[in-house]
Structures are given as C-alpha cells and as structure tokens.
C-alpha cells in the first residue's frame, strides 16, 4: 500500500495523507435520482469515483464501494405521475439504463447498490423516534428535524449563510420553523409510493436521512471516504452529519471528497437542460471510451467546461490513442481484452496483475519514467491531467516501437492504464 497517497478532504480544505480506519476501505458515493435519463454531469461524477476506487485498488487497498439509487423523491413521484407509470416501474427502468451507460464508460460496478425505498420503513421508525425525543416536530403533514444555526458548519465551516438563498435569521413562510430545518418524513405524493410506519402518519422518507441510513448499512460506519458532487456538499452532506449526530451513530466519515461539475456558458449542466446533453445523445457522436478520456483531461475537483467542439476534438484524440493501445496489445500477444465494466473486477486480481506489469514497465527506462509520472500525479489527489500527459507520451513511444522490439514494457504500461484509470476499453 502506498503511504504517499494524498487526497483533498473537503471538511479540512486541504490534502491529507490517506489513512483508512480499517480494511477494506469503506467508500460511499451518492448515486443518481432515477427519474430521467443520465446526462454528462453524471458521467463526470461517476467516472471520478470509479477512478478513485481503481487507484485505491492499484495502490493495494481492498475497497468496499457502495453507491445508492435515490428511487424515492419528489422528482420520481412527479415523473411517474406525468408518465402514467407506477413509481417503482419508472425508477427501475432508469436504474437499468444508468448502469448500462456506466458500464459503457468503463466504470466498475459498486459492490453494493442500495435503494432508498429499501430503507423507507426504517426511516419512518427513526423519524418517529426523533419526534418522540423532541429533536423533530410535525408540520403540514411532514416531520422536520429542528436545527439551530450553531449546529451547522461541521462540513462547510464558516460561510454557511452564503450557501443559503436567505439570511440565517429569516424563517420562510413554509412548514419549517427555522431556515436550517429539513424534512425527515414527508406526506404522500401523487404518483409516488407511500409507507405506513407505526406511530406517525403515512408518507415518504426524506432525502438526507435516506443516504445516512444506506451508508450506515453498507459499507458501514465510519466511512473512510464519502464521495459526491460539489452541489451536494450543502445541504445534503451537511445534513447527513447532523443526522448522524442526532441518531447517535458515532463517527460518520473520515474524509469528504467532492467532484466539480460540468458547465457550459450558461452554468451547471443537469437533467433539465434537455436531450442534447443526455448520455444517449452524447454516445451517438462520441464513443464512451473517448468520453472517458475527455473527462480525465480535467482534474476531478475542477468545474469542467463543456462545448460540443471541445468534446468532439477530445473524443477524436481519445479514439486515436485508444487504437494505438489496441495495436500494441494485439502485437504483444495480449489476449486480455477488457471492455466496459469487464475491464477488471477490482480487488486482489487487479493488484496482482498491476504489480507484475509494473515490474515489466520499470525494466525499461522510457516506460519506467512514464510510470513514475503516472504514480506521482495520481498520488497527488488523483491528478488525472498529469496521467493523460504521460499517456500521450506513451502513445509516441508505442508508435515508434510497433514495427520493432521493446513492446512488452509498453504493453505492460498500457495494461496499468487500463486497470488503474479505466481507459482504452477494447472496442466491441
């Protein structure tokens, strides 16, 4: 295991040496709300967490990776009502579509994929407990956690008021008593499923408590890393910490990591921006493996600029680099042809194979230098742009050697890139 791996902790606002609490590493990532097709922003987020997992495994860590589906939300109920479908049928359809697209991008499947609906009865029981303890109150058919301003800041620290759309001393005219309060249990919604727990009215679980419970169940607490988009830091992740404290769960998470968002000239990309940015539409023009290359050119914490011209150029380069890798691996007699999620199951097999390939790569001065640059860049908070720069140089070396000798260390380094970054999945 590498003692030199440093990751940026959003809670401390600095890079820290990664030191997990135990074995395996407990990694939890906030998953999608499954009410519409996945978009480019999802690709950015889930390629980022996949690269984190892959690099941890390359560095010798066993990883327990859980990533949820939010299949109970206002959006899922509204979409189900709009489409005239049962909520569960709608969310199951989008779950399957999402997983297929993540497979195409080369992401390893998380070992656990819990659904919010699976913990809904438990959420109802916990909401009732917090209500009985005086930590929560009822208002307009829902149960709300009461949060004082001084309780905030465990994750964001100072500047909490800047995260709000209203001053901290203002109380909105809705069901909340205070601006920091949030819903634990909501009323039934048209188009949505309803649960009927003991001691409280029938209804639906609140978003923040869903993730808190799912993370506690799998991978279990304390989390070593909680991963999510920068737009989830407040209020979602801040609220998870408040709930962990209110429920007496003990230490919740050692390190918080947040990826930057995809942006165009008009701001954050999201589902609401239309079909143009859906992954289905993007894949029509840019193969998934090339899109992955495009995303890796930007650091995971950076807000990634989007333009169709830049995407087209990056995809063309990614395809060209990928075909060089194919030629090298074919010429070297490599019959290990990863594609999509089959690029490696992770864990011990990945570590063992990468160790052997690292020895081969270090036996050649040119590939040894590139491997050292790859490792130094990725050990510095997953510096994928530095890895991409090394990959471009590997392409030049590979093309020089394709008609001669010295391909084995080049092929070994390509296999390391495949396993550790998920790039250059074999075309189907």
Longest dimension (CA), the chain: 76
Q: For residue 427, what pLDDT is reported?
A: 46
Question: What 3-state class would DSSP assign to 28?
Answer: strand
Give 101's Cβ-side CA count (13 Å radius).
Answer: 26
Q: For residue 271, what pLDDT is reported?
A: 52
The burial class, CB within 10 Å (0-12 / 13-18 / 19+), for 56 is buried
Q: In which band, very low, low, confident or very high, does the pLDDT at 172 lie, cut at 50, 70 and 90?
A: low
Enumerate domains of the chain plus CATH numbers: 6-273 (3.40.50.620), 308-421 (no CATH)
Q: For residue 422, what pLDDT is reported?
A: 96
Which residues lie below 8 Å from residue 264, measured CB to CB, with a gap of 6+? Answer: 305, 306, 307
CA separation for the pair 137, 333 (Å, rounded): 67
Q: For residue 162, what pLDDT is reported?
A: 44
Least confident range from 143-147, 172-176, 220-224, 290-294: namely 172-176
The structure tokens listed for 80 are 């189900």
Q: Are 180 and 148 in contact (CB under 8 A)?
A: yes
pLDDT at 335 over 70: no
- What are the tens digits of pLDDT across the range 83-125? 999 999 999 999 999 999 999 999 999 999 999 999 999 999 9
Which residues lie below 8 Å from residue 225, measured CB to CB, with a gap of 6+? Answer: 7, 25, 26, 27, 28, 52, 253, 254, 255, 256, 257
Q: Are 366 and 405 in contact (CB under 8 A)?
A: no
The structure tokens listed for 83 are 């489409």
Mean predicted confidence (pLDDT) in 400-405: 88
Question: What 3-state class would DSSP assign to 405?
Answer: coil
Strand order through the sheet with 25-29? 63-67, 25-29, 225-229, 256-259
Q: For residue 74, what pLDDT is reported?
A: 96
Q: Which residues are bridge partners to 256 per DSSP?
A: 226
DSSP type of residue 106: T
Q: Are 246 and 206 in contact (CB under 8 A)?
A: no
């Amino acid at each position: 295991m590498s003692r030199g791996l440093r990751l940026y902790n959003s809670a401390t606002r600095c890079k820290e040496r990664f030191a997990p609490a135990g074995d395996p590493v407990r990694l939890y990532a906030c998953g999608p709300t499954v009410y519409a097709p996945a978009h480019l922003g999802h690709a950015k987020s889930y390629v980022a967490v996949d690269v984190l997992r892959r690099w941890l495994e390359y560095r010798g860590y066993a990883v327990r990776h859980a990533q949820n589906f939010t299949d109970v939300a206002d959006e899922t109920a509204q979409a189900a009502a709009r489409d005239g479908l049962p909520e569960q049928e709608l969310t199951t359809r989008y779950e399957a579509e999402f997983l297929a697209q993540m497979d195409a991008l080369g992401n390893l499947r998380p070992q656990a994929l819990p659904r919010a609906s699976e913990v809904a009865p438990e959420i109802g029981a916990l909401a009732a407990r917090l209500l009985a303890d005086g930590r929560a109150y009822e208002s307009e058919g829902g149960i709300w956690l009461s949060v004082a301003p001084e309780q905030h800041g465990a994750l964001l620290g100072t500047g909490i008021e800047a995260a709000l759309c209203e001053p901290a001393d203002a109380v909105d005219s809705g069901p909340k008593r205070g601006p920091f309060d949030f819903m634990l249990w909501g009323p039934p919604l048209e188009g949505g499923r309803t649960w009927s727990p003991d001691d409280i009215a029938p209804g639906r679980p609140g978003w923040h408590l869903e993730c808190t419970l799912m993370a506690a169940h799998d991978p279990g607490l304390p989390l070593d890393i909680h991963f999510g988009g920068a737009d989830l830091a407040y209020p979602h992740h801040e609220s998870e910490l408040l709930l962990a404290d209110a429920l007496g769960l003990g230490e919740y998470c050692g390190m918080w990591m947040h990826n930057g968002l995809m942006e165009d000239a008009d701001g954050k990309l999201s589902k609401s921006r239309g079909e143009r940015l859906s992954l289905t539409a993007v894949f029509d023009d840019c193969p998934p493996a090339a899109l992955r290359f495009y995303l890796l050119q930007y650091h995971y914490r950076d807000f990634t600029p989007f333009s169709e011209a830049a995407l087209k150029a990056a995809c063309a380069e990614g395809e060209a680099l990928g075909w060089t890798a194919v030629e090298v691996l074919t010429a070297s007699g490599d019959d290990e042809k990863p594609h999509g999620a089959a690029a490696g199951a992770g864990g011990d097999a990945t570590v063992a194979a990468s160790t052997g390939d690292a020895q081969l790569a270090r036996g050649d001065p040119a590939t040894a230098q590139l491997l050292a640059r790859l490792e130094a860049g990725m050990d510095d908070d997953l510096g994928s742009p530095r890895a991409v720069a090394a990959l471009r140089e590997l392409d030049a070396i590979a093309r020089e050697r394709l008609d001669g000798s010295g391909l084995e260390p080049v092929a070994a380094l390509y296999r390391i890139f495949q396993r550790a970054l998920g790039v250059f999945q074999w075309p189907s």
